[in-house]
Amino acid sequence: MHKRQLYLTKNIQHKIKENNAMITQAHKGKALVIIYKQDYHNKVHIFLTHNNFQATPKNPTNKYQKQITQTIKQCNPIFNKEQNKYLTVRNLKPPTLKIQIKLHKDGNPIRPVINNIHALSYKTAKRLNKI
């Protein structure tokens, strides 16, 4: 049975890659959705344009990092020096956008999900939430 499952998994992966598709999560339930990459990108583009998102001309992460580190240093009663090192992020990465398809609605709209784990203020917000 194990070899058969591996065979089927490889076969599915090959067909998905061959047809330029991808697998993503559905919004409700624990279902998976196979969608063409072009349709996925079109849904994201439509969502961003209809909700008036705009691209920034310059990457603001360095500016925000300086502001956050200065604010942390000024908060000596809340954070000690050891925590300051932990709260500053070294590998800056912008938050990533992932979408989930709403299968239970007409037209299958999307639900955006933002992954902030690598964001600048994630560790600081997590620490402040504990306090």
**What is the average per-residue pLDDT within 21-48?**
91
For residues 95 and 60, is the Cβ–Cβ distance under 8 A? no
DSSP of 8-28, one letter per residue?
HHHHHHHHHHHTTEEEEEBSS
Give the start-to-end residue ranges of the domains of the chain.
Answer: 2-130
pLDDT one-digit tens code per residue, 57-76: 888 888 888 888 888 777 77
CA distance 5 to 2: 5
Q: Can you read off the two tokens belonging to residue 52?
A: 């008036």
pLDDT one-digit tens code per residue, 64-114: 888 888 887 777 777 777 777 777 777 777 788 889 999 888 888 899 998
